Amino acid sequence: MRRAFLLLSIFVISLALVSCGGNSAVNGNGANANGVQLRSFADITDPAAALAEGNKLLDENDTENAIEAYKRAVELDPDLGEAYFKMGVAYSLLEAEAKHSGTSERLPGDPIPKEEAKEKANSVKMFEKAVEALKKKVAASPEDAASFYTLGRAYNKLNKDKESEDALEKAVKLNPDDSDYQTELGAIRIKLAKYHEAISALKKAVELDADNVEAAELLEDAQAGAKRVDYVSKPDNTKSNSNANANANVENANSATPANSKTTPSNTKPAGPGDRPRVVKDDKTPASKRHE
């Protein structure tokens, strides 16, 4: 009986281990830990086609399969910067979802282990690869506005704001009539607190596309920021005038006769007929006490 119970226990534990093994990143059936059935894109031989398929899947919120398509794209063309950038966007969505849904193994507020803190997120890795590939692309094709645009966006994702603005300015210079380019340039200038410069780019974006809601909203933010900057930087004329008046009053007071000064009283009076001249005795009161 005891032996039978022991065998039963071993059987149950084995089933549990098999079950846990099935929750790995990708199981034998091609499903990931979230239960999403991953597709194979090995039949795609054109990197541009793989990129297009990834964009289509990302728009459909099939983020995991979009990543697989982007992986196929960079496998076919390791210098395809846009595929790296879009893969970074896809990974960012998954990372944000894991953080907010609580599926991350680390609880909110838990200290981050040093090893984990040093490890870059997949999204960051992809954005860095995008920058590397796109820098080579624009060096070889300096008139490629689209590559400058994506490079600027990749820099923005890495919080390299000045580099982002430089790349986006080049994109806008090469293609000033693209509303998206103007919008992205306005957004990075708001991030840099260059509100007045952002206004010009965002006004242009709205002029080019009246339905560009993002540009319209960003324009309101830029205008509000510009008002704050102007209010803080303008001189306070009221305060300046008040100080000037106060200084003038002090000068006038210094030039006037002191209020405590008195005319020295005369101890003599006109002599009447037959009077002898009046003898004035010296005032023995000390000088310091005379006005008390």
Output the pLDDT for position 72: 98
Residues of the chain scoring pLDDT < 50: 1, 5-6, 8, 10-24, 257, 259, 261-292
Question: For residue 282, what pLDDT is reported?
Answer: 45
Q: How far is Cα 153 from Cα 27, in angstroms, rounded to an integer?
A: 35
Kindly write down the DSSP assignment for every residue of 168-229, as one continuous string: HHHHHHH-TT-HHHHHHHHHHHHHTT-HHHHHHHHHHHHHH-TT-HHHHHHHHHHHHHHHHH
CATH superfamily of 159-234: Tetratricopeptide repeat domain (1.25.40.10)
- pLDDT at res. 18: 38
Q: Which residues belong to CATH 1.25.40.10 in the chain?
A: 43-102+121-140, 159-234
Q: Is 73 exposed, middle or buried (0-12, 13-18, 19+ CB in 10 A)?
A: buried
* Residue 162, pLDDT score: 98
pLDDT of residue 101: 78
**172 CB burial (10 A radius; 0-12, 13-18, 19+):** buried
The whole-number pLDDT of residue 29 equals 58
Match 């991350």 to its residue by tokens.
104
What's the predicted TM-score (pTM) here? 0.69
User: According to the CATH classification, is domain 43-102+121-140 in 3.65.10.10?
Assistant: no
Which pairs from 263-266 meet CB under 8 Å and 24+ separation? none
